[in-house]
Amino acid sequence: MLYLYLALSLAVAAVFAHSILQGLLLFVGAFLGLLLLHVLVLALASLFVDKKNPNPKFFPFYRKLIILSVGPMLQAGRVRVELVGAEKLPAGGFLLVGNHRSDFDPITAMWALRKWGLTFVTKKENVDIPVGGRIIVGSGCLSLDRSDDKQGLMVIRQAVRRIRAGDAIGIYPEGTRSKTGELLPFRVGCFKAAQWAKCPLVVLKVENSELVEKNFLRRKTTVRLTVKAVLPYDEIADVDTAMVGERVRNILLEG
């Protein structure tokens, strides 16, 4: 999308400009105008999202809006997302878990796994972001209040229903991003979603995402997402969630 906007802006400048200066002004004006139009489309689309009761029929539409926005942002920020082990990903619904190093983790994961329609369980604070919060909810992301265990259980049950319907849902067992890069203690209740949904558990390792904020626009950053393992339901069905968490932790700590 970013390259399309640049090409359109260049075309406008080439057709209507009569001097180099005029061409530069037309190019910049057209590009900024297209970006503004993009934001206005997002703002308008967000008005049709009920944050408390989003419509599943429109999840694919809002996911597409996110992808069309995330792609140019990553390109502009000189961020390259590399997905390793995509061939391991199962067909149908699954629960994805992994380490959490940066606020860019769900963004890069949704971009890399866009063919699988991945959405996340996200903290409620993200849902309150103007415009973007409603788009997030509209795409199918689930809002979690980390201070309310009862609400957390409801979210897990929502995730189970979605996974059974064929969706890919992601969640970070650490509950928050690690500022040191070391794995934080897991909130093992999230693994219940895979057990109750009777679905595969995908373990995704994230590397270098913590560098994005520091390098954004300034230098290239390659964020590597590696599908380390796919645990079939049969292997976790009757296992205590603490043991499932320990197995996931060991997988993520492998070289």
Residues 29 and 123 in one domain: no
| Final residue before a domain boundary, out of 47, 62, 82 | 47
Please check whether residues 5 and 124 belong to one and the same domain: no
The model's confidence at residue 255, banded by pLDDT at 50, 70 and 90, is low
Residue 43 sits in the same domain as residue 162: no
Look up the domain containing 217 and give its range: 52-253
Residues 39 and 72 in one domain: no
pLDDT digits (tens, 9 = 90+) for 155-165: 999 999 999 99
- pTM assigned to the model: 0.89
For 199, list phi and psi in degrees, rounded to 5: -125, 165
104 and 42 housed in the same domain:
no
Distance between CA atoms of residues 142 and 60, nearest Å: 15
Residues 12 and 83 in one domain: no
Q: What is the pLDDT of residue 147?
A: 78
At 67 the three-state DSSP class reads helix
Are 209 and 155 in a shared domain? yes
Where helices occur in the chain by DSSP H, the ranges are 2-16, 20-46, 59-76, 105-112, 124-127, 132-138, 149-164, 192-197, 212-215, 233-236, 241-253
List the beta bridge partners of residue 142.
121
Query: What mean pLDDT is reported for the chain?
Result: 92
Six token digits for residue 150: 């009862």
22 and 137 belong to one structural domain: no
Domain count across the chain: 2
Answer yes or no: do 57 and 31 share one domain.
Answer: no
Domain match, 34 and 77 both: no
Nearest to 81 by CA among 248, 220, 252, 180: 220
Same domain, 78 and 146: yes
Residues 100-119 have pLDDT tens digits of 999 999 999 999 999 999 99
How far CA 62 is from CA of 44, 46, 226, in Å, comes to: 12, 9, 26
Can you give the CATH number for the domain in which 128 is found? 3.40.1130.10
Express each pLDDT in 40-64 by its tens digit. 999 999 999 998 899 999 999 999 9
Q: Which residues contact 52 (CB under 8 A, 6 or more apart)?
A: none
Q: Is the domain of 38 the same as that of 141?
A: no
Tell me if 208 sits within 8 A of 221, measured CB to CB: yes
Domain boundary among 11, 30, 47: 47
